[in-house]
Amino acid sequence: MRRVPLDKVRAGAILARTIMTIDGKVLLAAGMEITEEYKRKLQANGITEIYIEDEISKDIHVPEVVREEIVNEAKQMVKAMMTKPSVKTSIDGRKVMEIVDKIISSILANKDIIANLCDIRSVDDYTFSHSVNVCILSLIIGIGLGYSRDKLRELGVGSILHDIGKVMVPKDILKKPYQLTSEEFEEIKKHTYYGYEILKNTSGISMTASYIALEHHERIDGSGYPYQLKAENIHKAARIVAVSDVYDALTSDRIYRKKLMPHEVIDYITSLGSHHFDQEVVDVFIRFIAYYPVGTAVILNTGEKGLVSKYNKKFPTRPTVRVVMGKDGKMLTKQKELDLAQNLEYRITDIWDI
């Protein structure tokens, strides 16, 4: 299977993964043939990408770091929680703990943990999906840092609720489709303090979660907000969530901009390194993130084109590529699997917009 922008999907393609709304309703089931009518239905629901199965991607399996049903349950919980009027004062900490424990167990059940996030999200449900993805990414970093189960739980609760303060920000500002004014941006920035107050007043949730909400936009060099804290003055858990937050935000389509590719965002985060982010956190993060996720269409330095069919944890920039098109631009009658770690004369030079 491979992930494809909806506007690139041709009628007759086979859907490889069931698409559900955040409320658990099935929009289209895996195995269905895509028609123009189905494409319009998906577009109307804010879906911009889907997974398809075709001849070139046959038998390519995109791994799940967390089981799909747990991700869906987590999204539904976050949405239910953030749309309750009572959320502005406190939340049900017990429910959050339960779903975070499920996410931790699902991640730890993987023999080879690689963050290859593969959820299909509606643009309208960005906040809820973002919260869950930031939680998953942060927990992976926590595992890489050797955190105990209790410490992972604290990190997970804080990361899934890091944006809870946005319930206090006017919706017309949150969903504005173009650049914010300086006054509007100042209002957005207040979500950190609002989140801190909500979580601080919630029984059963540790202060770590409150600090994550308050400090996840602080930066190591003091250029962040709300208090321009520096380095060790920023809670370690907030430094973890800062990296996860930026990665998921930049690899997601937004109303006002198109997403970047994972390798572009990893390069961006790495380039900022010790200026904006905790270097130890960045070093762990890049060990567990898929530089070129499985299913990515790539171009090789030879001019040949293919799909990433297998990730290489030891050499993230040198995965196994299924070559499907020759340098002459013609589709191959016989595809070949090329392990770039074993064939050093080959390298990925660009993404293929197939």
Task: Judge residue 59's burial from the number of C-beta atoms within 10 Å of its C-beta, 0-12 exposed, 13-18 middle, 19 or more buried.
Answer: exposed
Name which residue leads in pLDDT, 122 or 55: 55
- Under the banding of pLDDT at 50, 70 and 90, the label for residue 62 is confident
State pLDDT tens for residues 152-171: 999 999 999 999 999 999 98
Among 120-129, 211-220, 261-270, where is mean pLDDT lowest?
120-129
The backbone region for 54, taken as left when phi is positive above 0, alpha when psi lies in -120 to 50, beta otherwise, is beta
Q: Which two tokens stand for residue 254?
A: 């937004």
- For the segment 245-259, the average pLDDT, to the nearest whole number, is 82
**Domain segments of the chain: what residues?**
2-57, 68-288, 297-351
Is residue 177's pLDDT more than 80? no
pLDDT at 136: 94
Strands 331-339 and 348-351: unpaired
State pLDDT tens for residues 281-308: 999 998 888 889 899 999 999 999 999 9
pLDDT at 285: 92
Mean pLDDT over all residues of the chain?
90
CATH code of 2-57, in short, is 3.90.105.10
Residue type at position 70: I
- Under the banding of pLDDT at 50, 70 and 90, the label for residue 6 is confident
H or E, element range at 132: helix 126-144
pLDDT at 44: 85
Q: 3-state secondary structure string, 10-77?
A: CCCCEECCCEECCCCCEEECCCCECCHHHHHHHHHCCECEEEEECHHHCCCCCCCCCCHHHHHHHHHH
64/171 Cα distance (integer angstroms)? 32
pLDDT at 120: 62
CATH code of 68-288, in short, is 1.10.3210.10
State pLDDT tens for residues 308-336: 999 888 888 899 999 999 999 999 989 99
